[in-house]
A and B are shown apart, each in its own frame.
Chain A
Amino acid sequence: MTAEEATGKDNDVQATDVAQPTDDAQAIEEKTHAAKPIEEQAETDPQERSVPKPAFTDAEAGAKVFPDSTARTHNYFTPKKRKASHYEDVTVEVQPDPRHYLSQGWLYGFADGRGGYPLEWTAMKAWGVDRPEPERFPGSGGKGYDWPAHGWHEFRDPNEEWELTIYRYNANVVRQINQNIETARQAKAFEQWNPNWVTFVERHVGAWMHVEHGLGLYLFANAQRRAPTNMHNNAISVNSMHKLRFAQDLALYNLTLSEEIEDFDGAAHVATWNEDSAWQGVRRVAEQLTGIDDWAEAIFAANVVFEPLVGELFRSNLVQQASPGNGDFVTPTVVGAGELDYATRDLRYTKAMFDLLINDKEFADHNKQIIDQWLSVWVPRCITAARELQPLWSQPDSKPPRFEDGLDRAKSRFSGLLSELDLQQPKELTQ
């Protein structure tokens, strides 16, 4: 058939093109037109636009019965509960595993030939990982181990984060923070602050933004490339965004204060972070945290050790306690949002992640041993950093509870966490 022939049949094509209901509609329309005088048609008929024609296809669920017509659940993974959650449906198995269905293996590798998500990127082990990848060769077939093949795939983010929850939660947080700050601005609440408190906020509350930013980017965002399942990596990437958002919340709050409070030095936080000796311990440990190669160690050291011993010590046991006495009801709402991210969401997934590893049916002892080593490294580093912050406790006019009391509370919180995870309290905690 030639192009000319095809073009010649154009009208036929259009005529047969249209599904039945549309044919009827067209026929009715044609009849209506036929009844009009030719001149009137010319005036009133717009040229027919070329648009796709809807057709009745009856392609909705339940229209027919046939094999699989009611099989409306994903059949490639076992849900944690009886029925797959929405979160599981959009998360599980997106990141493939050669031990499951990835029959041809990874297709692109690094220079050393390793592709995908090597399990050796952490010293932690989950049951089944010592079994080799199923060997594939001419005539081997493609079958892998039965799902889940190894214990890493058992992890589910208890926060069930996926795109809808991420944006809903964080949009609510930023809206609320903006409203709180705007109310304070309108009420001229910043005028009630003690002068020393202004200095404290510009320097020290400001300095904390650097911790959140550095860890959010170079620890958490970095780690989300490295864990063996999509469930791990998505949870870690959400954690990263909490940190980055909190860092920006603090920065933009700082900007508002620069605009609202005369003599508020909006750049003082940078000098404090760079030069103030009280902050150098925190900075040192934050930098050490971003230097960790093992992704699981990085998450553990940040969320199980650093956050309770340093983060919560500063945020909950200093800023939140000192603010009211110094006339400040705004800063706790900004800092509190970040505190809530950690305490209710980031810590929750971290505990679920490590709880599985610590109670792993094959590698519990191995994992505990490694974690004990991590604790022996990170606890003293974090305690040292915490102690170096002590001078901050004496700076506000209205004093918060004593540093030692705050540190005790932080240690007690940390010990509680270790107990919940069935881990031993390291001797370094008494330091």
Chain B
Amino acid sequence: MSRQSVAKAHEKIQELAWEPLYHEPVSQYGTDYTFQKAKKRDPLKQVLRSYFPMEEEKDHRVYGAADGAIRGNMFRQVQERWLEWQKLFLSIIPLPEISAARAMPLLFRTVPNPELHNGQAIQMIDEVRHSTIQQNLKRLYMNNYIDPAGFNNSLRNFQNDYCGTIGRQFAEGFITGDAITAASVYLTVVAETAFTNVLFVAMPAEAAANGDYLLPTVFHSVQSDESRHISNGYATLLMALADEGNHQLLERDLRYAWWNNHRVVDAAIGTFIEYGTKDRRKDRESYAEMWRRWIYDDYYRSYLVPLEKYGLVIPHDLIEESWNQIWNKGYVHEVAQFFCTGWLANYWRMDPMTDKDFEWFEYKYPGWYDKYGAWWENYSRLSTPNGHHPIVFEDVQYQYPNRCWTCMVPCLVREDMVMAEVDGQTCTYCHEACRWTDVEAFRPTYQGRETPNMGQLIGKREWETLYHGWNWADVVSDMGYVRDDGKTLVAQPHLNLDPKKMWTLDHLRRCPPLQSPNVLLNEMSPDEQKAFHANYIRGGPAGRPAPADA
């Protein structure tokens, strides 16, 4: 490689930047933050002359491992329970990655320091790398794993599935709205700095424990780029803190970004790690333990808290509440249970839990069996078609939940559900923090301050609305989750690939029609809505309806 030192080379490339003399570059993204032009060194100190060969070398290792996996018949020891959940995860993650690439230009004009733009441009191409290398991993699974269904229609599914839609926030939040809120606070300061730890470090470890060493190979290669992106976020954050006028917005954005990441990432990754694994060694870390280590200790205590002295108002209450949700309120368990309740609207197979799983859950989360055990036994009992309906229609003491209008994960911790009327529509929220996000944060004024650049929550945010009144067979056909015989569902609530044990459109045809909880809620009178809410929050845990009044 070059004989010039990296520091010298890096110093030299700082000469490339120039201030416009005749015309300003186009300004297409707004922010309510203000930045003073200040000397800020590029935190990445990355020169493309060394960057490209470095990444090429990383590629050699990844693709060498991919070759090895196929030659060494890795798929003979991959746990299907694990790989099935990858149909969801790998359908989601390439979009957030590429969206992170697309987010970088949001910062060019809003953060007026050319020294930082070099790092942002390298992050851009890193993210192109991540998106396509992950797509490639999924392609390899499609070609070599026993059941390609769900991988072969992955990106269609991701776009119209309710789980995929939850995950899509992790992408769209990066590229729209206030440029700093999106591309800096939400993306780099929270998503990348905090939550890639569980995404790209904790989860790959679980993959390896389930016989899949390719996912760790790819995702650790990805994670080795993330540390540079974290530096990008940190540099911008420090610049924002330098102006006191930004502190109110930073407080708002950290609250939103933290809570939304917790709701979305913990829902998905928590479920994969806890319910997608066959590794039930008692001394392997639970998701809660991983979260405590990677997010609470490594991010919150080591990264975030020290920033308090610079004036950053840290959402201590929401961080503690996230832990409370995971540890005391069973957030991950509630989500996994819901994903499996709605298995028929998905595109992967969800393995029932066994006695061995029960014991592990009870050991790691004392009291788990009393809350969730009976439901999982019912799930197992109802997993193959035998004259009954899918579990969602059977009496298993589970009340189908309303969706959260903000994070779109259903309101599963029933006692926390709140309601609000927004733009003429009554919406349900899984938690006060999600209500605040929609009703107060994503608005053109915030605490009396004009915030004209803040984004909006848009779209048909409740999946069920679109299919209100539809027969389930038509719903699944419309979404395209049917195998090549034209009738067998992609999704199954078990791993048995015997066609006689698999659910088909014919089974769904006999089910009651789909009902949208939000449509039904909006058909109620105000008093009925009030009563509905009062009853809802008395429900749970594990989806149990509110106890009947004595």
Residues of A near any B CB (own CB < 8 A): 1-3, 5-7, 9-10, 13, 16-17, 50, 52, 54-64, 66-76, 86, 89-96, 100-111, 113, 115-116, 136-143, 162-164, 166-168, 170-171, 173-175, 177-178, 182, 209-210, 213-214, 216-218, 221-222, 224-226, 230, 233-234, 237-238, 240-241, 244-245, 247-249, 251-252, 254-256, 259, 266-267, 269-270, 273-274, 280, 283-284, 287-288, 290-293
Do B459 and A101 touch (CB < 8 A)?
A: no
When C-beta atoms are compared, the residue in chain A nearest to B130 turns out to be: A163
B98/A95 in contact, CB under 8 A? yes
In the complex the two chains form, is A224's CB within 8 Å of B53's CB? no
Asked whether, in the complex, the Cβ of B369 is within 8 Å of the Cβ of A16, the reply is no
**Chain B, range 272-288, C-beta contacts under 8 Å to A:** 278-284
Are the C-beta atoms of B455 and A108 separated by less than 8 Å? yes
Interface centre among A100, A177, A241, A247 (most CB of B within 10 A): A241
* A55 nearest in chain B by CB position: B77
Identify B21's interface contact among A140, A259, A287, CB under 8 A.
Answer: A287
Provide a sorted-by-A list of 13 A–B residue pairs whose CB atoms are within 8 angstroms.
Answer: A6-B363, A9-B359, A68-B147, A68-B490, A74-B155, A95-B98, A96-B159, A111-B452, A138-B466, A141-B466, A142-B479, A166-B129, A225-B106
Contact status B101-A291, CB under 8 Å: no
Task: Say whether B459 contacts A107, CB under 8 Å.
Answer: yes
Smallest beta-carbon distance B171→chain A, Å: 9
Q: Across the interface, do A17 and B356 meet the contact criterion of CB distance under 8 Å? A: yes
Give complex CA distance A173, B279 in Å.
46
- Among B78, B156, B356, chain A packs the most CB atoms within 10 A around the CB of B156
- A6-B362, A163-B133, A217-B121 as given contacts; A54 in contact with B152, CB under 8 Å: no
Stretch at the interface among B8-16, B236-244, B308-316, B376-384: B8-16
Given contacts A57-B211, A174-B48, contact A141 B77 (CB under 8 A): no
Known: A13-B356, A68-B149. A224 touches B124 (CB 8 A): yes
Q: What is the size, in residues, of chain B's interface with A at 8 Å between Cβ atoms? A: 147
| B131 within 8 A of partner (CB) | yes
Residue of B101, B108, B147 with most partner-chain A CB within 10 A? B147
Contact with A along B176-205 (1 / 0, CB 8 A): 111000000000000000000000000000
B interface residue numbers (CB < 8 A to A): 1-4, 8-9, 12-13, 15-18, 20-26, 28-30, 47-49, 52-53, 55-56, 59, 63, 73, 75-80, 83, 94-95, 98, 101-106, 108, 117-118, 120-121, 124-125, 128-133, 135-136, 139, 142-149, 152-160, 165, 168-169, 172-173, 175-178, 208-211, 278-284, 356, 358-360, 362-363, 366-367, 369-370, 373, 408, 444, 452-461, 463, 465-470, 474, 478-480, 483-485, 487-488, 490, 497-499, 502, 516, 519
Partner of B466, one of A75, A106, A139, A167: A139
B488 nearest CB neighbor, chain A only: A67
Q: Which residues of B contact A52 (CB under 8 A)?
A: 208-210, 279, 281, 284
List chain A residues, Cβ under 8 A from B144: 60-61
A142 touching B149 by the CB < 8 A rule? no
Contact of A100 among B20, B156, B369, B498 (CB under 8 A): B156
- Point out the residues of chain B lying under 8 angstroms from A140, CB to CB: 466
In the bound assembly, the distance between CA atoms of A71 and B398 in angstroms comes to: 36
Minimum CB–CB distance for B451 against chain A, Å: 9
Which residues of the partner chain B approach A274 to less than 8 Å between Cβ atoms? 18, 21
Given A68-B152, A224-B101, check contact A90 B139 (CB 8 Å). Answer: yes
Q: What residues on B are CB-neighbors of A143 within 8 Å?
A: 478
Closest chain B CB from A418 CB (angstroms)? 26
Contact of A76 among B26, B153, B363 (CB under 8 A): B153
> Are A108 and B9 neighbours in the complex by a CB distance under 8 Å?
no
A234 to B102, CA, bound (A): 10
Asked if A138 and B497 make an inter-chain contact with CB atoms under 8 angstroms apart, the answer reads no
Q: Are B149 and A93 neighbours in the complex by a CB distance under 8 Å? A: no
Residues of B within 8 A of A67 (CB): 149, 483-485, 487-488, 499, 502
B148 near A241 with CB under 8 A, answer no
Distance in angstroms between the alpha carbons of A238 and B284 in the assembled complex: 42
Q: Which residues of A contact B458 (CB under 8 A)?
A: 105-109, 113, 115
- Contact between A241 and B59 (Cβ–Cβ < 8 Å)? no
In the bound complex, CA of A252 to CA of B3 (Å): 11
Q: Which of A66, A90, A244, A254 contacts B135 (CB 8 A)?
A: A90
The answer to whether B165 touches A57 (Cβ under 8 A) is no
Which residue on A lies nearest to B208, using beta carbons?
Answer: A52
The minimal Cβ–Cβ distance linking B288 to chain A, given in whole angstroms, is: 14
Contacting pair B459 A106 (CB below 8 A): yes
**Cα separation A248 to B502 with both chains bound (whole Å):** 58
Min Cβ gap A365→B in Å is: 27
Q: Is the CB of A107 within 8 A of B23?
A: no
Most buried by A among B148, B157, B208, B459: B459
Which chain B residue has the least Cβ–Cβ distance from A104? B460
A107 with B210: in contact, given A61-B144, A290-B25 (CB under 8 Å)? no
Alpha-carbon distance between A170 and B208 when the two chains are bound, in angstroms: 32
Residue of A nearest to B408 (CB): A107
Contacts of A163 in B (CB 8 A): 59, 128-130, 132-133, 136
CB pair B30–A174 under 8 Å, yes or no, is no
Complex Cα distance, B157 from A196, in Å, reads 64
Q: Is the CB of A141 within 8 A of B148?
A: no
Compute how far the CA of A58 lies from the CA of B209 in the bound complex, rounded to whole angstroms.
16
CB distance B108 to A222 under 8 Å? yes
Q: Which 8 A-B pairs have the closest CB atoms?
A: A60-B75, A67-B483, A52-B209, A76-B156, A90-B135, A3-B366, A68-B149, A6-B362
- Residues of chain B with a CB closer than 8 A to A63's CB: 146
